A and B are shown apart, each in its own frame.
Chain A
Amino acid sequence: MNARQGFIGQSVERREDSRFLTGKGQYTDDITLPQQTYAYFLRSPYAHARISRLDTAAAAKAPGVLGIFTGEHFKAVGGLPCGWLINNLDGTPMKEPKHPVLADGKVRCVGDRVALVVAETLEQARVAAEMIEVDYDELPPVVDTATALNFSQPGLAVHDEAPSNECYRWGIGDEAGTDAAIASAAHVTTLHFRNNRLIPNAMETRGANAFYDPHADNYTLYVSNQNPHVERLLMCAFVLGIPEHKMRVVAPDVGGGFGSKIYLYGEETALVFASKTIKRPIKWTCDRSEAFLSDAHGRDHVTTAKLALDAQGKFLALRADTTANLGAYLSTFSTCIPTILHATLLAGQYKTPKIYCEISAVFTNTAPVDAYRGAGRPEATYLLERIVETAAHEMGLDPAEIRRRNFITEFPYTTPVGLTYDTGDYEATMGRAIELADVAGFAARRAASEAQGLKRGLGYSAYIEACGIAPSSVAGALGARAGLFEAGEVRVHPTGKVTVFTGSHSHGQGHETTFAQVVADKLGIPLDDIVIEHGDTSKVLFGMGTYGSRSLAVGGTAIVKAVDKIIAKGKKIAAHLLEAADSDIVFEGGEFKVAGTDKKVPFAAVSLTAYVPHNFPHDKLEPGLNENAFYDPSNFTYPAGTYICEVEIDPATGHTRIDRMTAVDDFGNIVNPMIVEGQVHGGLAQGIGQALLEHGIYDTETGQLLTGSYMDYAMPRADDLPSFTVETAGPESCTPCTHNPLGVKGCGEAGAIGSPPAVINAICHALGVKDVPMPATPYTVWKAANSLRNSAAIR
């Protein structure tokens, strides 16, 4: 491969791997500072209780203790803010009770933070925490999503500010038109289901290390986080009142996030607050058991959906009524997940003329629920792809054919729920998936399985997602309290080497490689001449961070725009050096050339001239070669694809084996196919995990988390999964995004969005039942397989 061109589209090996493979990664807990102290959080053992007495006197005298902090210390500071305002159907704002840094006289979920103990060692902090005396007056907990609103006895609500436990009731679409179409339709399919609560489980737990420098009067926070600038902004401006320029936030190597590290949490906020008193660095690393209790969870919707069809299987209307569990407090983005990121996706890939979705968001005595890989879009895709497949079976139509009859085929297409898709080719992705999954050979495989007493089924899922979040003006109109652009800076050094600063954050996505490929191609220089810097507010000018599959589409575009400015300035410098008009200069292959001549000057000569400006157009330009850009997208991007799952079930044991998992995605243009396929693999594992294994369960009587460790919460392991068939850059099915210069759409969440309904559709097909709840554990499947006479068997 020519080192001077063609990095985009190549599976370049990752530049970050060497440090990770040799143990040289620097995750937050790996950082130990001089005079390090250690923190431990005392957490509530009860789901719902008033704190009638909290006595830290004895604990404060325990060996090694440097300080104990409780809710009293935080009375004067703000609560943790929620970043998205949702209005009720009547236009009134959502209920927004304070989300205290430490409990303010009441605990609202098991694991709620009651006190922070800082000591010389972690053991000393733990021992002292045990000595804190807390009297709890227990209250009955509200746990179950579906019945949270029925539990509104006076004084017993999760928050006094929301006496019915409802945060908001919100809707989108044409309710009357939808209901009328359903009332007169030839066929209506109804499904009632739960989208199971998931616990994110990044392998590196959350952690932080905070210190205050009294001489400079500034703070430094190392934190395992996906968006350090937003962390800083929220903590400084909304909670602690620290001047933003007096705080540095560093998110070093981060061991996975999947959404759970987007948010501002109370733990690191308390650490920063305490660091000024303790005057030494304070480190906290979350135990896995603590992570189960205190990380923001995902999903947890209960939905009734109705799909109306005409006699030919054309969709007429879709209505969805969902109760979404927000947990005990409003996490940073929690309120927009069931609404803006869920209900707006309910058109899917289809021309459904009428859609209405109503969301009741409820408080419960459980961990806060927020974005987890996919964030609303998996819930929407599950709803839609389950009901479409169910309708197909009910009407005796092939699941591919019913989709084909309803696919959107002309673009741009404006849905009834607020989005405008710019491009796509849904028939192409589905057609390719059918081919790769060898659907034609399914009948023979099914016969072979049946001969062994096994059940075999095939399930489809044709998903769409809105990524590249987001046009700030659109987000703002929908209630976002932040902009959603991204920032990038390209610093060309005198020798022509380049440092790129990005507001995106990499916690496994490989930006150090992908972003460098883009810049290398644009500037025509070797990859080794480029370094990507991210994750440090003292280096990067600003950033909105990484989530919602936005890094390349938004962060990458900001970098491209900065590169364009570098080239534009470089052309002017080159024109001066070559004694040509600016407009005659072209830049190609790393050289500035006078068009139509052999006069040229290399990139590094131009950069040197910019910094040693002896012969320089001072009348037109400033010296130096450093540019930054902010990019605010004009639309979302719309990755889409078809996933086909084939399962084999042993009806004697209920065990489901995924025999084939085929994923065909249209992510637009691809920069690094190897990395993109890896993203799909990981998403598929999480989606299959949701469908078959994972379930965050709280005891409805006590509010205790029953799945609080890897002994109880079934993480997908290597032997639970098959190898996958993945195609992400098929020439027949690639439609580049029309509104960003790279033509990219985003790939991080698709696997987790598209796969759960494909798996459940396959299981339902295998068993000939209408529904099997997630997770389809062996017991659940066994019950479904062995109680057909009592269920709504459809064939």
Chain B
Amino acid sequence: MGLQITLTVNGESVTRVVEPQTLLVSFIRETLRLTGTHVGCDTGQCGACTVHIDGRATKSCSLLAVQAQGAAIMTIEGLAAADGTLHPMQAAFKTCHGLQCGFCTPGMVMSAVDLVTHHGCRPGQMSEQQVREALEGNICRCTGYHNIVKAVQLGAAGMAA
């Protein structure tokens, strides 16, 4: 028995009928075909599915689609400017080589943007250790986090500029 939900995704209003058990991440990937949001585990641990819900980074595997009724969701596809200019955090990940296989990257970037936005992280304000602790919910197997930490610090500077 489907339920109708209406929400905003990357600035556009969408209305769809979903099954009550459909996870938000499945709705994003399968129904909306926004495949930049990834599934890396089945226990809410890896953070590859992180999106913004009403501006806060949230693991979209841990909500039902129906719980997002009325919410404003931003996925990695919605982060760059309309003209394609990368968000400062995306640009910083490229500059710092903060990604290798790219699979954890969308979730990592969405977490990093939230981290900066909600922790008022400006240059010099957030230590390396604070960045590391704040990214504890996003697992990367490729980079050893070394360049991700640098990217988040550079991205923070870019967002403040």
**B97–A675 contact, CB under 8 A?**
yes
Q: Among B36, B86, B100, which residue has its beta carbon within 8 angstroms of that of A678?
A: B100
The answer to the question of B45 belonging to the interface, with a C-beta cut-off of 8 Å to chain A, is yes
**A20–B144 contact, CB under 8 A?**
no
Residue of A nearest to B21 (CB): A123
The answer to the question of B154 belonging to the interface, with a C-beta cut-off of 8 Å to chain A, is no
Stretch of A58-66, A552-560, A646-654, A708-716 lying at the B interface: A708-716
**B141–A258 contact, CB under 8 A?**
yes
Interface residues of A in 696-736 (CB under 8 A from B): 709-711, 715-719, 721, 723-724
The answer to the question of B64 belonging to the interface, with a C-beta cut-off of 8 Å to chain A, is no
With A684-B144, A710-B43, A718-B132 given, is the CB distance from A21 to B105 under 8 Å? yes
**B93–A678 contact, CB under 8 A?**
no
**B45–A22 contact, CB under 8 A?**
no
Residue of B nearest to A724 (CB): B146
Residues of chain A contacted by B135 (CB below 8 angstroms): 717-719
**B103–A255 contact, CB under 8 A?**
yes
Residues of chain A contacted by B143 (CB below 8 angstroms): 678, 681-682, 685
With A678-B143, A723-B146 given, is the CB distance from A22 to B43 under 8 Å? no
**B43–A256 contact, CB under 8 A?**
no
Residues of chain A contacted by B138 (CB below 8 angstroms): 718
Number of residues from A at the complex interface, CB < 8 A: 58
Interface residues of B in 100-146 (CB under 8 A from A): 100-106, 109, 128-129, 131-133, 135-136, 138-146
The answer to the question of A30 belonging to the interface, with a C-beta cut-off of 8 Å to chain B, is yes
State A684–B146 Cα separation when bound (angstroms).
10
Stretch of B1-9, B52-60, B74-82 lying at the A interface: B74-82
State A204–B46 Cα separation when bound (angstroms).
11
Residues of chain A contacted by B141 (CB below 8 angstroms): 201-203, 256, 258, 682, 685-686, 715
With A14-B94, A711-B45, A718-B148 given, is the CB distance from A204 to B103 under 8 Å? yes
The answer to the question of B160 belonging to the interface, with a C-beta cut-off of 8 Å to chain A, is no
**B100–A682 contact, CB under 8 A?**
yes
The answer to the question of A18 belonging to the interface, with a C-beta cut-off of 8 Å to chain B, is yes
CB distance from B57 to the nearest CB of A (A): 15
Q: Among A19, A203, A507, A721, which residue has its beta carbon within 8 angstroms of that of B144?
A: A721
Residue of A nearest to B128 (CB): A723
**A16–B102 contact, CB under 8 A?**
yes
**A23–B140 contact, CB under 8 A?**
no
State A401–B4 Cα separation when bound (angstroms).
72
CB distance from B20 to the nearest CB of A (A): 12
Q: Among B42, B75, B148, which residue has its beta carbon within 8 angstroms of that of A23?
A: B75
Residues of chain A contacted by B33 (CB below 8 angstroms): 32
Q: Among B80, B100, B132, which residue has its beta carbon within 8 angstroms of that of A509?
A: B100
CB distance from B149 to the nearest CB of A (A): 7
CB distance from B156 to the nearest CB of A (A): 15
Q: Among A11, A30, A202, A686, which residue has its beta carbon within 8 angstroms of that of B35?
A: A30
The answer to the question of B40 belonging to the interface, with a C-beta cut-off of 8 Å to chain A, is yes
The answer to the question of B41 belonging to the interface, with a C-beta cut-off of 8 Å to chain A, is yes
Residues of chain A contacted by B103 (CB below 8 angstroms): 25, 27, 202-204, 255-256
State A717–B138 Cα separation when bound (angstroms).
8
Residues of chain A contacted by B30 (CB below 8 angstroms): 32
The answer to the question of A289 belonging to the interface, with a C-beta cut-off of 8 Å to chain B, is yes
**B42–A289 contact, CB under 8 A?**
yes
The answer to the question of A172 belonging to the interface, with a C-beta cut-off of 8 Å to chain B, is no
**B94–A255 contact, CB under 8 A?**
no
Residue of A nearest to B145 (CB): A718
**B36–A25 contact, CB under 8 A?**
yes
**A508–B100 contact, CB under 8 A?**
yes
Residues of chain B contacted by A686 (CB below 8 angstroms): 141, 144
Residues of chain A contacted by B71 (CB below 8 angstroms): none
Interface residues of chain A: helix, strand, loop or mixed (majority): loop
Residues of chain A contacted by B109 (CB below 8 angstroms): 21
Q: Convert A342-355 into 0s and 1s, putting 1 for each residue whose CB lies closer than 8 angstroms to a CB of B.
A: 00000000000000
Residue of A nearest to B133 (CB): A719
Residue of B nearest to A674 (CB): B97
**B100–A22 contact, CB under 8 A?**
no
Residue of A nearest to B19 (CB): A123
**A721–B145 contact, CB under 8 A?**
yes
**A253–B95 contact, CB under 8 A?**
no
CB distance from B155 to the nearest CB of A (A): 11
Residue of B nearest to A17 (CB): B94
State A255–B36 Cα separation when bound (angstroms).
12
Residues of chain B contacted by A289 (CB below 8 angstroms): 42-43
Residues of chain B contacted by A253 (CB below 8 angstroms): 101-102
The answer to the question of A254 belonging to the interface, with a C-beta cut-off of 8 Å to chain B, is yes
Residue of A nearest to B110 (CB): A23
Q: Among A13, A20, A202, A718, which residue has its beta carbon within 8 angstroms of that of B105?
A: A20
State A24–B106 Cα separation when bound (angstroms).
10
**B99–A203 contact, CB under 8 A?**
no
The answer to the question of A73 belonging to the interface, with a C-beta cut-off of 8 Å to chain B, is no
Residues of chain B contacted by A16 (CB below 8 angstroms): 102
Residues of chain B contacted by A22 (CB below 8 angstroms): 36, 76-77, 79-80, 86, 90
**B139–A717 contact, CB under 8 A?**
yes
The answer to the question of A756 belonging to the interface, with a C-beta cut-off of 8 Å to chain B, is no
The answer to the question of A584 belonging to the interface, with a C-beta cut-off of 8 Å to chain B, is no
With A24-B36, A719-B133 given, is the CB distance from A508 to B102 under 8 Å? yes
Residues of chain A contacted by B136 (CB below 8 angstroms): 717-719
The answer to the question of A510 belonging to the interface, with a C-beta cut-off of 8 Å to chain B, is yes
State A509–B97 Cα separation when bound (angstroms).
11
State A710–B105 Cα separation when bound (angstroms).
18
With A258-B141, A719-B136 given, is the CB distance from A204 to B101 under 8 Å? yes
State A686–B139 Cα separation when bound (angstroms).
12
Q: Convert A279-297 into 0s and 1s, putting 1 for each residue whose CB lies closer than 8 angstroms to a CB of B.
A: 0000001011100000000
Q: Among A255, A717, A724, which residue has its beta carbon within 8 angstroms of that of B102?
A: A255
Residues of chain A contacted by B40 (CB below 8 angstroms): 203-205, 288
Residues of chain A contacted by B101 (CB below 8 angstroms): 20, 202-204, 253-256, 507-508
CB distance from B68 to the nearest CB of A (A): 18
State A675–B98 Cα separation when bound (angstroms).
10
Interface residues of A in 665-706 (CB under 8 A from B): 674-675, 677-678, 681-686
State A729–B20 Cα separation when bound (angstroms).
56
Residue from B46, B77, B142 whose CB has the most chain A CB atoms within 10 Å: B142
The answer to the question of B147 belonging to the interface, with a C-beta cut-off of 8 Å to chain A, is yes
Residues of chain B contacted by A17 (CB below 8 angstroms): 93-94, 99, 102
Residue of B nearest to A257 (CB): B101
Residues of chain B contacted by A27 (CB below 8 angstroms): 35, 38, 103
Residues of chain B contacted by A507 (CB below 8 angstroms): 101
Residue of B nearest to A256 (CB): B101
State A607–B56 Cα separation when bound (angstroms).
54
CB distance from B7 to the nearest CB of A (A): 18
The answer to the question of B48 belonging to the interface, with a C-beta cut-off of 8 Å to chain A, is yes
State A289–B43 Cα separation when bound (angstroms).
9
Q: Among A30, A508, A681, A717, which residue has its beta carbon within 8 angstroms of that of B147?
A: A681
With A682-B143, A719-B129 given, is the CB distance from A709 to B42 under 8 Å? yes
State A675–B97 Cα separation when bound (angstroms).
7
8 A-B pairs whose Cβ atoms sit less than 8 Å apart in the complex: A21-B90, A21-B109, A22-B76, A25-B102, A26-B35, A32-B33, A508-B100, A723-B128
Q: State the 9 A-B residue pairs at the shortest beta-carbon distance, nearest first.
A: A23-B36, A20-B102, A255-B103, A508-B101, A685-B144, A710-B45, A508-B100, A681-B144, A30-B35
Q: A681-B146, A719-B132 are in contact. List 6 more A-B contacts (CB 8 A).
A: A21-B109, A23-B34, A30-B35, A203-B48, A203-B101, A204-B103
